Amino acid sequence: MKTRVVLLGYLSMMTLLSVQCLANNGDSSAVRRTVADPGNAGLKLPAGFKAQAIAENLGAARHIAVTPLGDVYVKIQTSKPGKAIAVIHGNDVKTFGTYRGTGMVIKGKYLYTSSDEDVYRYALNDKFEVINPEQPEKIVTGLINRHQHEAKALTLDNDGNIYVNIGAYSNSCQVQDRAKGSKGMEGCPIRDSAAGIWQFRADKQNQTYGDGSRYATGLRNVVGLDWNTTDNQLFVMQHGRDGLFDMFPEYYNLQQGNELPAECMYALKKGDDAGWPYIYYDGQQQKKILSPEYGGDGKKTGGENAIDPVVAFPAHMAPNGLLFYTGSQFPAKYKNGAFVAFHGSWNRQKGQKGYFVAFVPFKDGKPSGKWEVFADDFAGVPDIQSPGQAKHRPCGLAQGPDGSLYVTDDVKGTVYKITYSGK
Amino acid sequence: MKRIILTGVAFSAVLSFLSAQTKKPGANPAMARGKKVYEQYCLTCHQVDGSGVPHLNPPLIKTTFVLGDKPTLVQVILKGMQSSVPIDDEYYSNNMPPHNFLKDQEIADVLTYVRNNFGNKASAVTAAEVKAIRAKN
């Protein structure tokens, strides 16, 4: 009996292992499913919505753009030659480009992308296909990349300007990054070349810092950003600071470290300062609190000249995508509202948070109600303890010509298409 | 077929029970002390299961640094590590701060814990070794 149990156990384990091997078989070509998926590709959605995985195994799929004819461009975070951008056309997936990066936007007849240092644009033909995949124009060059917060996320306005995130290469501008007891640098020099959104012209080549302008500062890192056409304004999602409990247990308990600071949505005007690194926004007290590296204690307020957020979400959820929904496919409450893709937290203890797409209703360019979870269960595990356990993490958002919502996952490279049928 | 799966499940359950028994940190005082240090200073970044954060903070599971040469590993604790240094050909975006405020014994304990947890198996680190390595800085 004993031998039999062991043998059977061994056999079933081998079966499991071989299935695992098949699933992990390198950069296997993407699978496109053309039939509706009754399981909604593993996502939990509000009634009447359906989801389908239109591609899988693309690699680390970051931001995404959909053409007026329904082709899908996805920026892949890889340095493998020829694999930087995936193009999904019908059942076919092609790739081109060789540079890591995140940014991906279509505006007019151009596709705009970014590496972690540069911004490119590719001219599109009448079918919105890239005319010359090997020779994009380099629009912006030489942006700072020191690994931390390196994604140069992009959006454009309707006046020929492009907005580029340059994230702070630091947690809180300490003399020694993330070191316990290290003070904040006076007159934080990181803000001169990072920790903000820079504005450049969308049609001029080889621009660098001197050619553009610092549109807004005091933003630690922004990956999700979008231009709101209702009030002609830039909106961004900031990744809030880490380590309040780890570095300052004298002021913050574990619970406070988990819940502070808020992940903030800001509506920006030229010249705005969101206050990083001097302050953070406490969503519970609803106040701008002086950072402990700059003399704060969790209670002292600060940042009199810093703007307030328009929405404060729970801490550490890592908003990586922002999209204002202008389509007509979804019910009326979604029109002009904001979808936010939360990549999911790591800077919490005893349970992580996020790994969903949220929705915020808007009216006249301002939030008009409480945010809610829209698409959930990307992680695919209950009670997630560490981000490595997540099967999928939502990152980029785009709207299709028929009003469908597209979401990328940068763990396995799944592209989800979410539609509404009312059934 | 059902029976095969059930037996397989039962077998894996026995396996994980046995491995949990052999890995129990309470069995060794250095491991128990190391676990405490880990939870206070390392867990947030490297996570409860040592898996790190993909692309941001490196895992501590069977990496060259964790299982390798003790002086190099002790120096990572003392001096921290810059994100520009690759770990097994992967880059991680966040810098590790120095933890030179930890006592020799605390560093020895936490490294012993990490080198014998999360599926790792490597020799223990002693406070005397940490002291000698720190003295060279």
CA–CA gap between residue A140 and residue A147 (Å, rounded): 18
Question: What is the predicted pLDDT for the residue at A35?
Answer: 55
| Residue A14 resides in a domain | no
Total Cβ atoms within 10 A of residue A233: 13
Interface check for A349 against chain B (CB to CB < 8 A): the answer is yes
| Residue B5 resides in a domain | no
Helices B70-79 + B104-115 axis angle, to 10: 120
**Averaged over B96-101, what is the pLDDT?**
94
Question: What is the predicted pLDDT for the residue at A203?
Answer: 97
ipTM: 0.81
pLDDT over threshold 60, residue B107: yes
Question: What is the predicted pLDDT for the residue at A118?
Answer: 98
Q: Which two tokens stand for residue B77?
A: 């604790």
What CATH number is associated with residue A122?
A: 2.120.10.30
Interface check for A39 against chain B (CB to CB < 8 A): the answer is no
| Domain carrying residue A370 | 46-420
| Residue B66 resides in a domain | yes
Total Cβ atoms within 10 A of residue A365: 17
pLDDT over threshold 90, residue B16: no
CA distances, A208 to each of A115, A118, A190, A266, B79 (Å):
14, 9, 17, 25, 35
Say which residue, A13 or B44, is predicted with more confidence: B44
Confidence of residue B28 (pLDDT cuts 50, 70, 90): confident
Interface of B with A in 61-120 (CB under 8 A): 80, 83-84, 91-99, 101
| Residue A328 resides in a domain | yes
| Residue B11 resides in a domain | no
A79 close to A63: Cβ distance less than 8 angstroms: no
| Domain carrying residue B69 | 25-135
Q: Hey, what's the torsion of the CAs at A398, A28, A112, A126, to 10 degrees? A: -80
Count the domains in chain B: 1
A153 close to A165: Cβ distance less than 8 angstroms: yes
| Residue B64 resides in a domain | yes
Question: What is the predicted pLDDT for the residue at B21?
Answer: 45
Q: What is the pLDDT along chain A (423 residues), one digit of tens a residue?
A: 344 444 444 444 433 333 333 333 333 445 554 456 789 999 999 999 999 999 999 999 999 999 999 999 999 999 999 999 999 999 899 999 999 999 999 999 999 999 999 999 999 999 999 999 999 999 999 999 999 999 999 999 999 999 999 999 999 999 999 999 999 999 999 999 999 999 999 999 999 999 999 999 999 999 999 999 999 999 999 999 999 998 999 999 999 999 999 999 999 999 999 999 999 999 999 999 999 999 999 999 999 999 999 999 999 999 999 999 999 999 999 999 999 999 999 999 999 999 999 999 999 999 999 999 999 999 999 999 999 999 999 999 999 999 999 999 999 999 999 999 987
End-to-end CA distance of chain A: 53
| Residue A294 resides in a domain | yes
Mind giving me the DSSP string for A82-103? T-SEEEEETTEEEEE-------
Total Cβ atoms within 10 A of residue A33: 13
CA–CA gap between residue A338 and residue A358 (Å, rounded): 8
What CATH number is associated with residue B123?
A: 1.10.760.10
Total Cβ atoms within 10 A of residue A12: 18
Interface check for B58 against chain A (CB to CB < 8 A): the answer is no
| Residue A26 resides in a domain | no
**HSE toward the beta carbon, residue A21, CA cutoff 13 A:** 6
Residue with tokens 């007290």: A285
Query: Can you point out the beta strands (E) in A135-228?
Result: 137-140, 154-156, 161-166, 196-201, 213-217, 222-228
Question: What is the predicted pLDDT for the residue at A30?
Answer: 55
Q: Do A8 and B8 touch (CB under 8 A)?
A: yes
For residue A31, the 8-state DSSP code is P
Question: What is the predicted pLDDT for the residue at A17?
Answer: 37
| Residue A235 resides in a domain | yes
Mind giving me the DSSP string for B7-20? HHHHHHHHHHHHHH
Q: Do A388 and B41 touch (CB under 8 A)?
A: no
pLDDT over threshold 70, residue B7: no
Count the domains in chain A: 1
Confidence of residue B83 (pLDDT cuts 50, 70, 90): confident
Say which residues have a Cβ less than 8 Å from residue A71's Cβ, sequence separation at least 6.
A87, A88, A89, A128, A129
